[in-house]
Structure 1
């Protein structure tokens, strides 16, 4: 289990960066300026350069990927209820997202921005969770039908 945990963390790190780059590409395309907006101006100001800001943001994207990668093993804890697994995974993910968001300047450290970030995370999390749940029920129905025959 330890080997699998570390493997998922290591695989999650580049995946987190990749997702962050795709999000930045989407934001850049939506802005319509023709510039690649990898980091925000606040982080550039805080670090003193675009390279410094890109390095900080990339490290935080690696942390997010690592947390989600490692936390994905929670779903294999069959002795935990689905509700407990969901809650633990959600808290780890949302907590990491808010921390990274504040440190990278994606969100301001105000109650309104933190709540809005958590609500956005909750909405995305809920959609993904529901799709995964439906997919698993479909797979289980297929397995059960095979077992009956």
Structure 2
């Protein structure tokens, strides 16, 4: 199996797992009687809860694939970290946003899109900062070892 196909399969599996766990958490938080993959308006737009869950599973897989494929930008060693970050951000935002709307996570209107965008930027910046600091400290550690 090629590396790309393995990445796609692994990313889809991670997307499904995270999507399921988030949906399960919200089903518990809102104390629904049954498992629901998304908001009730989303679920009732399908012929059955099973169809809503099957569709959600496919969307969660696609979300995982978007993030998995976008991660390849950080493998481009000829690019600066700034370019890698900007391209990764654009790919994930442009790939994830329509899928989040299709998942029924927020309606398609300007107010919600602006709120979502703000939350996405904050979460992205937080995750990026965490990885940046981890790599920064790893480089410092390796440099100390090299000086010995």
How high is the TM-score relative to the length of structure 1?
Answer: 0.91
Counterpart CA distance in 2 for 1:34 and 1:54 is 15
Counterpart CA distance in 2 for 1:9 and 1:142 is 33
Displacement after TM superposition at 1:8 (Å): 1.2
How high is the TM-score relative to the length of structure 2?
Answer: 0.91
Equivalenced residues, count? 148
* SS of equivalent to 2:105: coil
Which residue is equivalent to 1:130?
129
Displacement after TM superposition at 1:43 (Å): 2.3
Which residue is equivalent to 1:24?
23
Structure 1 residues 23 and 93: CA distance shift in structure 2, 3 A: same
Which residue is equivalent to 1:78?
77
Which residue is equivalent to 2:47?
48
8 Å contact 1:6–1:70 — kept in the other structure? no
Cα deviation per residue 1:54-97 (whole Å; 9 max; x = unaligned)? 11111111001011111111111111111111111111111222
Structure 1 residues 10 and 99: CA distance shift in structure 2, 3 A: same
Which residue is equivalent to 2:111?
112
Query: Structure 2: 5+ residue runs without aligned partners?
Result: none
Structure 1 residues 13 and 75: CA distance shift in structure 2, 3 A: same
